[in-house]
Amino acid sequence: MKSSLDEDDRIWRALGDPVRRKMLDVLADGPQTTGAMVGRFEPLCRTAVMKHLDVLVRARLVMVKREGRVRWNHFNPVPIDRICGRWLDAHRRRRSAALNRLKRVVEAPVVGETEIAKEKVKQ
Amino acid sequence: MKSSLDEDDRIWRALGDPVRRKMLDVLADGPQTTGAMVGRFEPLCRTAVMKHLDVLVRARLVMVKREGRVRWNHFNPVPIDRICGRWLDAHRRRRSAALNRLKRVVEAPVVGETEIAKEKVKQ
DNA sequence: TCTACGTGTCACCATATAGTGACATGAAAA
DNA sequence: TTTTCATGTCACTATATGGTGACACGTAGA
């Protein structure tokens, strides 16, 4: 089912940005109006905050309820649970084998990351 | 500790790309040489595959072991477990409250996503 | 030795994304 | 009604990212 994969993709990509993860942390403590979110995420401008919220809405990580001219943003924990659960389940069986292989490898010095990788890790 | 946050950030961002998630799936079944990975991810060019691998190495999701002129890429499941576990733990307490609030909201029609969101969800 | 091959790196392009200011809309309050 | 305010949308810029081809390097094998 392609739409489901796209849905997962939207969720992962939404979680890829630290600002959006912080937004979910805030919303997890309780729903917030868009204006309140703007206030919490200075110095970002309102449009930037709304774009991030839109990405979260597209991923169904945030549900919107309008009340007059105010918009309430609600955190929806279901997609995260699904994603994390699916990933952990998928790797649970392979995890021990992978760890054993890794242990054997790590005993020998693990080097050979590309220069790009070394450099960026330093920063 | 800032470095830890940066580390988490690298992990989330690495997982944000579907190609890289697929790569982890492949590597979870067993280590692969870079060349073998290139073969598995056609029609991507070698450089693209190596860039993705570099991102995964930076996030410590892939460990590298060199053997002569061959490079073996090993999947490291630890960071994913840590990340997913932390999120699930952090949200576990708030989850039930958030779900209850959501249920109340969802009873009323949930509308009001921006046009951008509606449009992109359609696609 | 010389050759072939796997890998590392560089320069470059196209697109996606984060961010901003300005303007439009619609509901609440004066 | 008029004004105010929260929100929605648009046009635009700058940077990050994914992707490619070409070249360099070092090791294994002929």
Cα separation values, B60 from A58, A106, B97, B98, Å: 29, 13, 34, 33
Whether the pLDDT of residue A96 is over 90: the answer is no
Write down the pLDDT at residue B90: 77
* Domains of chain B with CATH codes: 2-76 (1.10.10.10), 79-122 (no CATH)
Write down the pLDDT at residue B2: 47
- Are residues B80 and A88, on separate chains, in Cβ contact within 8 Å? yes
- Indicate the pLDDT class of residue B36, thresholds 50, 70 and 90: very high
The pTM for the full model equals: 0.85
Task: Tell me the average pLDDT across A85-114.
Answer: 64
Task: Tell me the average pLDDT across A48-71.
Answer: 96
CA dihedral of B28, B90, B99, A56, whole degrees rounded to 10? -70
Whether the pLDDT of residue A117 is over 60: the answer is no
- Indicate the pLDDT class of residue B106, thresholds 50, 70 and 90: low
Which residue in the set B54, B58, B77 is minimally distant from A98, CB to CB? B77
Q: Which nucleotide is nearest to B14 (CA to C1')?
A: D17
Write down the pLDDT at residue A10: 96
CA distance B36 to chain A (A): 17
d(CA B17, CA A72): 30
Q: What is the share, in percent, of chain A residues with pLDDT greater than 70? A: 75
Whether the pLDDT of residue B6 is over 70: the answer is yes
Query: pLDDT by residue (tens digit) across B42-67?
Result: 999 999 999 999 999 999 999 999 99
- Are residues A65 and B108, on separate chains, in Cβ contact within 8 Å? yes
Neighbours of B102 (CB within 10 A): 19
Write down the pLDDT at residue B23: 97
- Residue of chain A whose Cα is closest to the Cα of B66: A112
Write down the pLDDT at residue B5: 53
Task: Tell me the average pLDDT across B67-88.
Answer: 89
- Indicate the pLDDT class of residue A109, thresholds 50, 70 and 90: very low
User: What protein residues sit with their CB closer than 7 Å to strand C?
Assistant: A 13, 17, 19, 43-48, 51-52, 55, 68-69, 112, 114-116; B 33-35, 38, 46-47, 50, 64, 66, 69-71
Q: Confirm if B75 and A101 have CB atoms less than 8 A apart.
A: no
Write down the pLDDT at residue A120: 41
Lowest mean pLDDT among A32-46, A59-73, B2-16: B2-16
